[in-house]
Amino acid sequence: DVKVTQSSRYLVKRTGEKVFLECVQDMDHENMFWYRQDPGLGLRLIYFSYDVKMKEKGDIPEGYSVSREKKERFSLILESASTNQTSMYLCASGLVSSGNTIYFGEGSWLTVV
Amino acid sequence: EDQVTQSPEALRLQEGESSSLNCSYTVSGLRGLFWYRQDPGKGPEFLFTLYSAGEEKEKERLKATLTKKESFLHITAPKPEDSATYLCAVRDPNDYKLSFGAGTTVTVRA
């Protein structure tokens, strides 16, 4: 089975803090993604990576950055957390040759106070 | 820009009462339509991928079908454990990413 593991399920951070969300996949997938999910807004793509050290902005990249130094790991960074970044963050991975089906982790609930 | 619209927003069913969820899309050159199930507080769980009009896939009480403009997720004789939000997504033909609909929340009462 595909396993996408997000390091933290629940986090509470203060405004202005730097926040790291880590994601690891064990299926040698080329593509990895970070989404956020908010009530009424659905899933929105923040960033994605199609290969190691490669990244592209999604629909809502402002206030976020990412890092992909190894194929299995994709990190989302909030440089200076703000209250409007309180959300559920979902990491996903996929393989282009599989028709780009992507598999999600369990999610990280971030509250910024 | 791709548009994925799911209807209805919410569906309340009695156990055993079959129904269908709709996902309509406007992307041209579809390179995959995906269905996911999401339980409260959890990440989406992959169900099906459909690639071409006329294709059908089944898993237990769920059956997904695809036409040129929409997909249906049929739930046959649902049970309370089928209660979840069902998400539909399409793949941009020129990109790696998926665009998601807002989802249909299904509640099945015993």
CATH, residue A48: 2.60.40.10
A50, A100, A107 member nearest B32 (Cβ): A100
- The verdict on residue A23 lying in a domain is yes
The pLDDT tens digits along chain A (113 residues) read 778 999 889 999 999 999 999 999 998 899 999 999 998 888 999 999 988 989 999 999 999 999 999 999 999 999 999 999 999 999 999 876 666 788 999 999 999 99
Tokens 């299995």, residue located: A72
**B37 at interface of A, judged by CB pairs closer than 8 A:** no
B32, B100, B102 member nearest A99 (Cβ): B32
Relative to beta strand B4-7, strand B19-25 is antiparallel
DSSP 3-state of A39: coil
Contact A99 B31 (CB under 8 A): yes
Of B106 and B31, more confident: B106
DSSP letter assigned to residue B27: -
Q: How many domains does chain B have?
A: 1
Rounded CA-CA distance B5/A103 in Å is: 21
| Peptide linkage before B44 cis (omega within 30 of 0) | no
Q: What is the pLDDT of residues B34-54, one digit of tens each?
A: 999 999 999 999 999 998 999
Give A18→chain B minimum CA distance, Å: 24
Rounded CA-CA distance B14/B12 in Å is: 7
- The verdict on residue A110 lying in a domain is no
Residue A72 belongs to what domain range?
4-97
Rounded CA-CA distance A16/A9 in Å is: 20
Residues of A engaging B, defined by a Cβ cutoff of 8 Å = 4, 31, 33, 40, 42-43, 45, 48, 50, 58, 90, 92, 94, 96, 99-107, 109
Task: Say which CATH number the domain at B47 has.
Answer: 2.60.40.10
**B92 at interface of A, judged by CB pairs closer than 8 A:** no
- The verdict on residue A105 lying in a domain is no
Q: How many domains does chain A have?
A: 1
Three-state secondary structure string covering A79-105: CCCCHHHCEEEEEEEECHHHCCCEEEC
Residue B55 belongs to what domain range?
4-109
